[in-house]
Amino acid sequence: MSSSMPKPVTLEGSCHCQRVKFSVDSYTPYPYMICHCLADTKTTGVFNCNIMGEYSTFKIEQGQEFVKIYQVKLCDTESGKKDSSSTKLSPHKRHFCSECGSYLWAYNDEYPQWIYPFTSSIDTPLPKPDEYYHIMTDFKLNHVEIPKGKNIHTYPRYPEGSLEEWHKKHGLYGTYTIDK
C-alpha cells in the first residue's frame, strides 16, 4: 500500500443523450462488484455495476430537469418476490435521464456521505480491477452466464464488507490517477 495520502479522482459522467452531465470525486473507482438483483436486472439490463463517490463533491453540471428517481417497492428478501400489498419503498434511489432512460447514479439516505454512480454512466476512464464479485446471484437470470476463473467470486446475496473496505484491503483506496 502506498505511504502517500489517498487522493480522490474526479469522475465525469453523462447520460446517452448528453442532456445530463455530472461530476463527483471518488476514492473507490474500481468497478469490481457486479449486481444481479431483480431491480438492477429489470432497470439497467442484465446486471449493474456501480462505484462510490463522495456526496459532498457531487455536482450536476447540466440537465437537472431531466433527472428522475425510481425507487423499488421492497420485496420479500427470501423469495425475491414483490409484495403487491407493500407500499414501503427502498431507501435506494436510482436516478435516471427522463429523455433517454440512462441510469446515472444511486443514492441511499442510509449512507448520506456517499453517492453511487453507475459505471455505465462514467465517461472518465475507469481502472480495471484484478478481481470481480458477482453479487445477488440468487436472483441472476437463467440465461446470464457468469465467467469462471480464480479472480471471479460469486455471492448469493450481498457480501460482507463495503466498497471502501475492498479498495483499502487491495491497496487501491485513493490511488487511481488519470493521465492527462
pLDDT digits (tens, 9 = 90+) for 99-129: 999 999 999 999 999 999 999 999 999 999 9
pLDDT above 50: residue 20: yes
> What is the domain count for the chain?
1
Phi, psi values for residue 31, rounded to 5°: -85, 80
> What pLDDT, on the 0 to 100 scale, is given for residue 2?
47
Q: pLDDT exceeding 70 applies to what percent of the chain?
A: 91
48 occurs within a structural domain: yes
- pLDDT above 90 (res 15): yes
pTM here? 0.86
- Is residue 136 one of the residues assigned to a domain? yes
Q: Is residue 3 part of a domain?
A: no
Taking the C-alpha atoms of residue 125 and residue 11, their distance in angstroms, rounded to an integer, is: 8
**Segments forming the whole domain that contains residue 76:** 9-169
- Asked, for residue 127, whether it belongs to a domain, the answer is yes
Q: Is residue 177 part of a domain?
A: no
CATH number at 45 reads 2.170.150.70
Q: What is the reported pLDDT for 82?
A: 54
pLDDT band at 78 (very low <50, low <70, confident <90, very high): very low
Per-position b or e across 29-46, b if 16+ CB within 10 A of its CB: bbbbbbbbbbbbbebbee
